[in-house]
Amino acid sequence: MKFKDLKQGDFPAVPVEVGDPELPELTKRYAAVVVDCWAPWCGPCRAMGPTIDELAREQKGKVVFAKLNTDDNEESAMKFKIMAIPTLLFFKKGELVDRTTGLLQKKQLEAAIKKAFG
């Protein structure tokens, strides 16, 4: 699902594809957003994909998950100093509150979500 296809008030049960232009609006629209910074050639990124998909379903209505392809969105990658992928950015009410780098297992990702959003 692409960000432009989201209607105001929608809480997607799948990760939303987002680019440089939409990222600020997405992070302000929802109180809790996890942005998965990834690239198609990245093995650990692809390995974490199913976990992100599963959590997007489980956290629907609480946390919105987004996918930002760093190859296609260099502005955001530079702005947030993404030096390695996968990197997850945690936004609370539009503000970056935490980040993780590297492949996370589901329990580790759940703990990071709890830490970032309470």
Task: Tell me the catalytic residues.
Answer: 42, 45
Measured distance CA(40)–CA(31) in Å, rounded: 28
Phi, psi dihedrals of residue 22, rounded to the nearest 5° = -90, -20
| Residues 6 or more apart whose Cβ sits within 8 Å of residue 15 | 1, 36, 52, 53, 56, 65, 66, 67
